[in-house]
Amino acid sequence: MRKIKIKKDVWPLIESVIIIGTETEDQRPNFLTCSWHSRVNQKPPQWGITIDHRRYSLDCIKRNMTFSINYPGPELVKETDYCGIYSGKNIDKGSLFTIFHGTLSGAPMIEECMLNIELEVKRIIELESDSLIIGEIVNAYSDERYIIDDRINSEHAESFFLSYPDFNYYTIHRHIGKAWQIGRKVK
């Protein structure tokens, strides 16, 4: 098969979708949809997230030096998309969810999500258009229905993905919505 050169602005084919949790300057829970993330270190366990410099949530994370990662299931696709469309500077996105807190201040978590991780910022790397934030995991939480032998059973915990370049949300088995569109129907 012959290879064809394409433009260099290539995106991954799919990435799992998470919701980043932080607090505003007046301690209001704020959430941002994110698909640019990965576990980046084994010991200590660290996670990397990338956020556009223009995002309000980035300022909140830099001020608090903590954040949370929340894995939504497909039943939260509209709310998840909404959190990526609208700014927490102007809208109370915390009202969409049941909020709980672990041990870190500034890192609210979403009860409805299957997996919640609270992290302390260890390093911020400023890139041209984005900031790469490395956080060390302080605690992780999950609903007991997803746990087998102290681990998440991925057969029972269904997350969803953002596909590129068509920008759609999918579970492993089905299409569940158009990115930056389905969330407009929340309110």
* Residue 143 belongs to domain with CATH number: 2.30.110.10
* Residue 2 resides in a domain: no
Q: Is 52 helix (H, G, I), strand (E, B) or coil?
A: strand
Domain interval for residue 65: 16-185
* Residue 47 resides in a domain: yes
What pLDDT does 13 receive?
A: 79
* Residue 42 resides in a domain: yes
Average pLDDT of the residues of the chain: 92
* Residue 46 resides in a domain: yes
Percent of the chain with pLDDT over 70: 99
Give the chain's domain count.
Answer: 1
* Residue 150 resides in a domain: yes
Give the chain's length. Answer: 187
Residue 155 has pLDDT above 80, yes or no: no
Residues sharing a CB contact under 8 Å with residue 154, sequence separation 6 or more, in sequence order: none
Give the residue-averaged pLDDT of 105-129.
Answer: 97
* Residue 60 resides in a domain: yes
Residues sharing a CB contact under 8 Å with residue 57, sequence separation 6 or more, in sequence order: 20, 22, 30, 31, 32, 51, 88
In this predicted model, what pLDDT tens digit does every residue of 119-139 receive, in sequence order?
999 999 999 999 999 999 999
* Residue 141 resides in a domain: yes
Confidence of residue 80 (pLDDT cuts 50, 70, 90): very high
pTM (two decimals): 0.90
What pLDDT does 171 receive?
A: 86
